Structure 1
Amino acid sequence: MRTLTFILTIFCLLAFKAPAPRGVKWVVLNNILVRVSGSTNVNKFSCEIKNYPYRDTLICYQNNGSEIVRLSGKLEMAVFDFDCLDKMMTHDLRETLKANQHPSLRIALLSLQKYPAQNGAPEQLCGNVAIELAGVTKEMSLYLTTTTDDQKMIHMAGSKNIRFSDFGLVPPRKFGGMIRAKDDLVVSFQFNFKVID
């Protein structure tokens, strides 16, 4: 009898599977902002994408006992949607980012150190993202400020210093090199998500 009980216990333990991570959907809202800011040896520039035409969804997974949240899904924006409020600067940025060969900028949120607080207070979280630009993908960590409102919307903002050269790009030059863009850029973004349980 003891042998049978022992065998059944072992069988039950081997058959037990850890519960699958719970997935929560975040629907991307269209009022986003992605800004690329930089400077030349003459002045500064700032170029923005202010709208998101898709209803993409990110899925958040959190294993029991772990605060780290894994995310799947990405936001895909058209490089041709960048507007620098200056026709020549807009053209130069699109050309530098190789918009004809690589028309999309993709940002994938990979993980957050924890699920954003639901109390409405601003919270700073560390996150990991992957940015794909001009056919090159770079993973990086950054700090994000998140708030959640009464309508179950998560508002997320962050910024990251990058370089043209990180993505194999050469900063633009004009007038025989008299005007040269610096290699350093700041990518800032504001995303809004609707939480669907």
Structure 2
Amino acid sequence: MRNIKYFCILIFCIGSFYAFKSPGFKTFKAFLTSESELIIKGHSNVNDFQCQYDITELSDSIAISYRMVGDNLSFSKAKLELKSLSFNCGNKGINKDFNKLLKSDVYPKIRIDLVSAESSIEDSELVVTVDITICGISKSYEILIQVNKRNGDLLVCGTLPIDINDFQLEPPKKMLGLIKVSNEIEIDFSLVVVKN
């Protein structure tokens, strides 16, 4: 795809694309519908777990500033903040371990900044660059996302693998170290994005 057809908002979100071409920064507002999902998946040497984000916490619209740079999109002030305590891992014990891992008492939010987006070989795919900040440490990642129109809205899907060691996080150990959680987690998202 030579011309970007959509402009992106990523919620780790996390994003949306609509037709625009402009040399300067433009701003729009967008929000996620209740059909959206964001899940962190992980596993230990005994079982798998997943922690689902409460999308109702993201009911406010998000302002996104963007501009075209060649055939790519560059973003400014396009950020999403997720409350660590708004993830539900299925039971109180895992929720407690999850929030201990993220040091939620000291760092109550995970921040995702949308940096840029460029077209892929497939028309419905984009390569998005995001900066993710967890426990005060920021890392940059590239995500291949699928973007499809759905009833006038956009469906944005993707998976981002992360090594929690990148953020100097230590996975919890249980039963004197017999149960060990893997350093590798995945952030899966399926977001329904509406332009305001």
Q: TM-score range by the shorter chain?
A: 0.7 to 0.9
| In 2, Cα distance between equivalents of 1:75 and 1:30 | 15
Q: Which has the higher contact order (CA 8 A, sep 6+)?
A: 2
Q: Does 1:186 align with 2:186?
A: yes
Please tell me whether the aligned partners of residues 122 and 145 of structure 1 are also in contact (alpha carbons under 8 angstroms): no
Any idea what SS the aligned residue of 1:113 has? strand
- Equivalence map 1:94-133=2 (5 Å): 94-114=99-119, 123-133=124-134
Indicate the structure with greater helix content: 1
Q: For 1:89, which of 91, 94, 101 is the aligned residue?
A: 94
Tell which structure's C-alpha radius of gyration is larger.
Answer: 1
Aligned to 2:32: 29
Answer whether contact 1:24 1:61 (CA < 8 A) is retained: no
Structure 1 residue 191, shift from structure 2 partner: 2.8
Structure-2 separation of matches of 1:194 and 1:26: 9
> Could you tell me the percent identity over the aligned residues?
22
Gaps of 5+ in 2: 1-21
Moved over 3 A (4+): none
2:37 aligned partner, one-letter code: L
Coordinate RMSD, CA, aligned: 2.2
Counterparts of 2:25 and 2:136, CA distance in 1: 32
Deviations 1:18-55 (A, max 9, x none): x8425252412243322111111110111110312332
Q: 1:10-49 alignment to 2 at 5 Å?
A: 20-31=23-34, 32-49=36-53
Query: Residue 25 of structure 2 contacts residue 65 of structure 2 at CA under 8 Å; is this kept in 1?
Result: no
> What runs of 5+ residues in structure 1 fail to find an aligned partner?
1-18
The change in CA–CA distance for 1:29 and 1:53 in structure 2 (over 3 A counts) is same
How far apart in 1 are the matches of 2:157 and 2:29? 15
C-alpha contact (below 8 Å) 1:27/1:193 kept by paired residues: yes
Deviations 1:96-126 (A, max 9, x none): 0111100001112211104x9xxxx971111
Q: Contact 1:28/1:58 (CA < 8 Å) preserved in 2?
A: no
